[in-house]
Amino acid sequence: MCKVTYFVQPCPTCGRKLQVKVEYLGLEVSCQHCGAGFISHDPDMISPPLTNPVEDALHKADAYLGRGLSGTQFPATFGSN
Domain that holds residue 39: 6-65
In a domain, 74, yes or no: no
pLDDT at position 18 is 92
Return d(Cα 65, Cα 31) in angstroms, integer.
Answer: 14
Is 10 within a domain?
Answer: yes
What pairing do the DSSP bridges indicate for beta strands 6-10 and 17-21? antiparallel
Residue 23: is its pLDDT beyond 70?
yes
Q: Residues near 9 by Cβ (< 8 Å), separated by ≥ 6?
A: 17, 18, 20, 40, 41, 42, 43
Instruction: Please report, for the domain that includes residue 56, its CATH number.
Output: 2.20.28
- State what percent of residues in the chain have pLDDT above 90: 10
* List of residues 6+ apart from 11 with CB closer than 8 A: 17, 18, 31, 33, 34, 36, 38
Q: Which pLDDT belongs to residue 58?
A: 79
Number of structural domains in the chain:
1
Question: Rounded CA gap, 50 and 62, in Å?
Answer: 17
| Chain segment 41-80, per-residue pLDDT in tens | 876 766 555 567 777 777 777 777 776 555 555 555 555 4
